[in-house]
Amino acid sequence: MGFFNFEPATLPPEAEALRPEVRAFLAEALKDKRPVDRAWNWMGHDQDFSRKVGAQGWLGMTWPTEYGGGGRTFFERYVVMEEMLAAGAPVQAHWVADRQSGPLLLRFGTEEQREFFLPQIISGEACFCIGMSEPDSGSDLAATRTKAEKVDGGWKVNGTKVWTSNAHAAHYMIGLFRTNSEDKHGGLSQFIVDMKSSGLTVSPIINLAGNHHFNQCVFEDVFVPDGRLVGSPGSGWNQVMAELSFERSGPERYLSCIQLILELLGVAAQSRDPAMVEEVGRLSAHALTLRRMSLSVAGKLQRGENPSLEASVVKDVGGVFEQSIPEIAARLVEEEPTLMGGDDFQQVLAFLTMEAPSFSLRGGTREILRGIIARGLGLR
């Protein structure tokens, strides 16, 4: 019975013990944040905040102590992550590196790379971005064209990456480049690119809300030294697939609209409108369910199992859930969303209504995820 394995996971006491500590830290660090600031959730960028988180020992928590990591469990890390997201902490400056770039280097990187990069991530100094999508290669990652040619002492990169979240603020990019034009999947390789490299031009792509998350990154004869190749030439595809399962597994995949649920609850508590009260209850039931699923994926990571199928299920169901919340709030509360003026509910609703389309695009579109799930079902 069962296509998936969502083994129930319970947080061990040492993980729960972290929770009050994290809450106390966040209460102080975020005390001046308005609801609409918190609504940015993990898209909020604040390198100083990330340094403070690093100083707490909450970055690279599961990594080996020899690199300065915490040597802690995935469950302890999970508690820190979910508390940060629930509070709407501006985690983006460290999120990608802590979630996937560090684990990538631990798994496939050289000793020199680990010793150089991991401590910078752990201290909250190094911000990473991910260069995957291209103008002609979005969901179809194997169509990547940006080329890395072997030159003396390194590689020469030419091409364009788009939709690169946070490239304008990042110090490094993990880029997926083509090192062999003959072999579609086997001709891709991953590199660490210094964002200050000459020949690399980052320009903003402003989203529909007028906000700047993502960018276009143009590479013109950008030199990347040999020592910045991750893994071996041609192993990029498999490494990216492993990396994406980390990207899809976390609690950020159902909590993006937590601030709007809280605002809706606030309105419901005032009005006692039965439809709103009931909907808040319904959303709680969904959130409780998704949290258990997400925790189960953390359990898989802790046991060293491959979570990619279950992580895709959580991201798909979680994406539908979080994307539905602005629709529900707009239907139930007869207040206009506002960009200027208005109350907290109105501002948060406006912000998240305009961000919500990205929830089922970033980190793998809904259609891609469902294709992965269909494969897990044995349909393809």
Partner 1 sequence: MSELRNILTDSVNGLFGDRVTRELLTRFDETGDDGGIWAEVEAQGLTRPLVSEENGGVGGEWRDAHVLLSAGGFHSAPVPLAETILASWLAEKAGLPVPEGMATVIDGSDGSLKVTGEGSSAKLSGAVARVPWGSKAETAVVVGVQDGGVVVGQVRLSDARGITASQNMAREPRDDVSFDGAPVRVAHLPNDLPQDVVLQYGAMVRAAQIAGAMEKVLSQTVQYANERTQFGRPLGKFQAIQQELSRMAGEAASSGVIAEAPFAALDAGQNPEWQIAAAKARTSEAAGVGATVGHQTHGAIGFTYEHSLHFATRRLWSWRSEFGGARFWARRLGNRAVDRGVDNFWADIVSG
* Amino acid symbol at 118: L
Q: Residue 49 in contact with residue 29, Cβ under 8 Å?
A: yes
Task: State the minimum distance, in angstroms, from the CB of residue 270 to partner 1.
Answer: 9
Contact pick of 53, 84, 86, 349 for partner 1 (by CB under 8 A): 86
Task: State the minimum distance, in angstroms, from the CB of residue 289 to partner 1.
Answer: 4
Based on the shown chain and the rule CB under 8 A, indicate whether residue 274 belongs to the binding site for partner 1. yes
Task: State the minimum distance, in angstroms, from the CB of residue 324 to partner 1.
Answer: 12
Q: How far apart are CA 338 and CA 343, in angstroms?
A: 8
Among the residue ranges 113-121, 135-143, 177-185, 312-320, the one whose residues contact partner 1 (CB under 8 A):
312-320
Among the residue ranges 65-73, 93-101, 256-264, 357-365, the one whose residues contact partner 1 (CB under 8 A):
256-264
Based on the shown chain and the rule CB under 8 A, indicate whether residue 206 belongs to the binding site for partner 1. no
| 192 bridge partner residues | 174
Task: State the minimum distance, in angstroms, from the CB of residue 33 to partner 1.
Answer: 15
Task: State the minimum distance, in angstroms, from the CB of residue 182 to partner 1.
Answer: 29
End-to-end CA distance of the chain: 20
3-state per-residue secondary structure call for 64-85: CHHHCCCCCCHHHHHHHHHHHH
Among the residue ranges 99-107, 156-164, 231-239, 265-273, the one whose residues contact partner 1 (CB under 8 A):
265-273
Greatest pairwise CA separation for the chain in angstroms: 70
Based on the shown chain and the rule CB under 8 A, indicate whether residue 317 belongs to the binding site for partner 1. yes
Q: Which of 65, 94, 68 is nearest to 81 (CA)?
A: 94
Task: State the minimum distance, in angstroms, from the CB of residue 337 to partner 1.
Answer: 19
Based on the shown chain and the rule CB under 8 A, indicate whether residue 286 belongs to the binding site for partner 1. yes
| 103 bridge partner residues | none
Task: State the minimum distance, in angstroms, from the CB of residue 280 to partner 1.
Answer: 4
Based on the shown chain and the rule CB under 8 A, indicate whether residue 374 belongs to the binding site for partner 1. yes
Based on the shown chain and the rule CB under 8 A, indicate whether residue 268 belongs to the binding site for partner 1. yes
If the CB atoms of residues 71 and 371 are measured against partner 1, the closer one turns out to be 371
Exposed (0-12), middle (13-18) or buried (19+): which is 13, by Cβ within 10 Å? exposed
Q: Residue 288 in contact with residue 82, Cβ under 8 Å?
A: no
Sole residue written with tokens 């539908």: 320
Based on the shown chain and the rule CB under 8 A, indicate whether residue 258 belongs to the binding site for partner 1. yes
Token pair belonging to 368: 């891609």
Return phi, psi of residue 255, to 5°.
-105, 5
Report the Cα 28 to chain-centroid distance in Å: 24
Contact pick of 55, 151, 206, 269 for partner 1 (by CB under 8 A): 269
Q: Which residues contact 55 (CB under 8 A, 6 or more apart)?
A: 123, 124
Based on the shown chain and the rule CB under 8 A, indicate whether residue 370 belongs to the binding site for partner 1. yes
Contact pick of 15, 26, 313, 328 for partner 1 (by CB under 8 A): 313
Q: What share of the chain is helix, strand, coil (3-state, %, to 5)?
A: 50, 15, 35
Among the residue ranges 40-48, 211-219, 229-237, 280-288, the one whose residues contact partner 1 (CB under 8 A):
280-288
If the CB atoms of residues 55 and 377 are measured against partner 1, the closer one turns out to be 377
Q: Residue 350 in contact with residue 259, Cβ under 8 Å?
A: no
Based on the shown chain and the rule CB under 8 A, indicate whether residue 3 belongs to the binding site for partner 1. yes
Token pair belonging to 310: 């279950």
Q: Which residues contact 282 (CB under 8 A, 6 or more apart)?
A: none
Q: Residue 97 in contact with residue 127, Cβ under 8 Å?
A: yes
Task: State the minimum distance, in angstroms, from the CB of residue 258 to partner 1.
Answer: 7
Based on the shown chain and the rule CB under 8 A, indicate whether residue 265 belongs to the binding site for partner 1. yes
Contact pick of 202, 218, 277, 354 for partner 1 (by CB under 8 A): 277
Using CB under 8 A, list all residues that contact partner 1. 1-4, 6, 8, 10, 19, 82, 86, 258, 261-262, 265-266, 268-269, 272, 274, 276-282, 284-293, 296, 310, 313, 316-317, 320, 367, 369-371, 373-374, 376-380
